Amino acid sequence: MSELTDFGLVVLVVSGAFLAALAAHKLTEFFPVPPPALFLVAAAVASDIWPGLSELSTVDVERIAVVALVVILFDGGMQVGWPSFRESVVPISVLGVVGTFATAGVMTVFAHTLFGFDWTTAGILGAAVAPTDPAVMFSVLGGREIAGRSGTILKGESGANDPVGIALMIGMLDFATSDHGTFWTVVKECAVEMSVGLAIGFAGAALLVPGLRRISLPSEALYPLGALAGAGVIYGVAAVAHGSGFLAVFVAGLCVGGSGVPHERQIEQVQTSLASVAEVVVFAGLGLTVDLGSLDGRLVWVDGILLAALLAFVARPIVVGPLLVPVRLRWGERVFIVWGGLKGAVPILLAAFAVIAGVADAQRIYGLVFVVVLCSVVVQGTSLPFVATRLGVPMRVPEPEPSS
C-alpha cells in the first residue's frame, strides 16, 4: 500500500501542476503577466522553501527541454504554415540565421567587455541568449492573432532561430572543450547541423504529409498523435545523423501546416495545447534547479538585469532594425518586431548544455540566463499587447470554431 500511496502523491502533484497551468493561462485574461513567468518564479520560490523539490538536476531539465522543444517547434512550424512562410521566407531566414549570429556576436562583446568573461565563455553566453521563443509569444498574446506580415515574421523568426542558436551553442561548446578547437570548429559544426537538419526535415515531411493523407486511422483523435509521433521520429533521425533535430522538426511543421492533411484543424489545436503546457513545464523545471539564495546579488541579479536591458534595448535594435530595412513594413510593425524578441525555453536548454559540458563559469551563465529570461518574459511579454496597440499593429481574438 505504501507504493500506491507514494505513486498517488506523484499523480496528485503532476495533475495539480497541469490544472495550475490551465488556470494560469486563464488568469492572463485579467492579469497581464505571462503564465511561464508565473511558473518560473513559483518553482524557484518553492524549491527554496521545500529543498526536496530541487532534486531535479540540470541533466533532467535538459532532457525535459528537448522533449518540450520538439512539441513547441513542430507547433511553431504548423502555426506559420508553408504558404505564409513562403511569402516572408527572406525576412524570416535573414532574421533567423543572420540575426541570431549577429545578436550572439554583439552580446559576446558586451559579456567580455562589461562582465569580465573571457572571449570563449562570453561567446557561450552570447549564443545562449540570442534565440527568441515561439511558444512564449503565443502564450503572451493570449490566443490573439497578429494581422499582417509582422506576425508571420515574428513567429517564423522565433521558430527558425531556435535551431540556429542550438547549432551555434553546440559548436561553441565543442570549441571550448576541445584542445584543438578553432573558429572553424564552430563554423563546421553549425554547417553540418543546419544542412543535415534541413535535408531530413524536408525528407521527413515528404513522408509524413502523404502518410497522414493516405493512412486511414480508426478515429480522428489519433491523427494529432500520429503527427506528433512523426515529428518525434524526424527529430530522432536528424539527431542520430548529427544534424539539427530541432530544425528538422520545425521544417516538418511548416510543411504540415496548410498542407490540407485530414483533420488538420484538430492536429493544430492539440499541438498548440501541448506546446503551451510544454513551455510551462520547461519554465517550472528551470525554476526548480535555481537556488535563489545562492544567486550573487551583483554577479547574477544586477548583471542579469543589465544584460537583459542591453539585449532588448541595444543588441536587438541594432541587429534587427537594419535587417528589416528592405522589408515592406510600416515603421510601427518594424518597432513591434524589434520589441517582440522574447526569450524562453531555448536559452534555458542552452544554459543547461553549458553546465553539463562543464565549461568555465557555467553556473554563473545558468543564473544569468534565469534572470534574462525572467526579465524578458515579465517586462517585454507583459507589455507586448500594449505596445502593439500603441504602434497600430492590428490584433484580434479569433472566433471559436463552431462545434460539429
pLDDT above 60: residue 1? no
In a domain, 1, yes or no: no
pLDDT above 60: residue 43? yes
In a domain, 59, yes or no: yes
In a domain, 115, yes or no: yes
In a domain, 404, yes or no: no
Q: Is 368 left (phi over 0), alpha (psi -120 to 50) or beta?
A: alpha
Query: Which residues lie closer than 8 Å to 13 by C-beta, 6 or more apart?
Result: none
Q: Check the CA dihedral 205-209-210-216 and report its sign.
A: positive
Measured between its terminal Cα atoms, the distance across the chain in Å is 45
Whether residue 307 contacts residue 59, with contact meaning beta carbons closer than 8 Å, is answered with: no
pLDDT above 80: residue 246? yes
Whether residue 54 contacts residue 291, with contact meaning beta carbons closer than 8 Å, is answered with: yes
Percent of the chain beyond pLDDT 90?
33
Name the grid cell of 202: 524536408
In a domain, 25, yes or no: no
Q: What is the CA radius of gyration of the chain?
A: 20
Whether residue 40 contacts residue 343, with contact meaning beta carbons closer than 8 Å, is answered with: no
Average pLDDT for the chain: 84
Q: Residue 14: how many CB atoms within 10 A of its CB?
A: 10
Q: Residue 335: how many CB atoms within 10 A of its CB?
A: 19
Q: Is 143 left (phi over 0), alpha (psi -120 to 50) or beta?
A: left
Q: Give the count of domains, the chain.
A: 1
Please choose, from the candidates 329, 392, 398, the residue with its C-alpha nearest in 3D space to the C-alpha of residue 150. Answer: 329
In a domain, 17, yes or no: no
pLDDT, position 404? 45
Q: What is the CATH number of the domain that holds 241?
A: 1.20.1530.20
Name the grid cell of 354: 553549458
pLDDT above 70: residue 17? no
In a domain, 83, yes or no: yes
pLDDT above 80: residue 298? no
Residue 267, amino acid: I
In a domain, 30, yes or no: no
Whether residue 375 contacts residue 92, with contact meaning beta carbons closer than 8 Å, is answered with: no
Q: Residue 1: how many CB atoms within 10 A of its CB?
A: 5
**DSSP β-bridge partners for residue 203:** none
Residue that the C-alpha cell 491523427 belongs to: 223
Whether residue 235 contacts residue 217, with contact meaning beta carbons closer than 8 Å, is answered with: no
pLDDT, position 54? 63
Domain that holds residue 226: 35-395
- How many Cα atoms occupy the beta-carbon half-sphere of 157 within 13 Å? 29
pLDDT above 60: residue 276? yes
Q: How confident is the model at residue 400 (pLDDT cuts 50, 70, 90)?
A: low
Distance CA 65, CA 287 (A): 13
Summarize pLDDT for 105-126 with one digit per residue, the tens. 999 999 999 998 999 999 999 9
Q: Check the CA dihedral 270-382-102-86 and report its sign.
A: positive
Name the grid cell of 105: 556576436
Average the pLDDT over 205-220 and give the result.
90
Distance CA 193, CA 163 (A): 9
Please choose, from the candidates 116, 44, 52, the residue with its C-alpha nearest in 3D space to the C-alpha of residue 283. Answer: 44
Distance CA 347, CA 381 (A): 16
pLDDT, position 403? 45
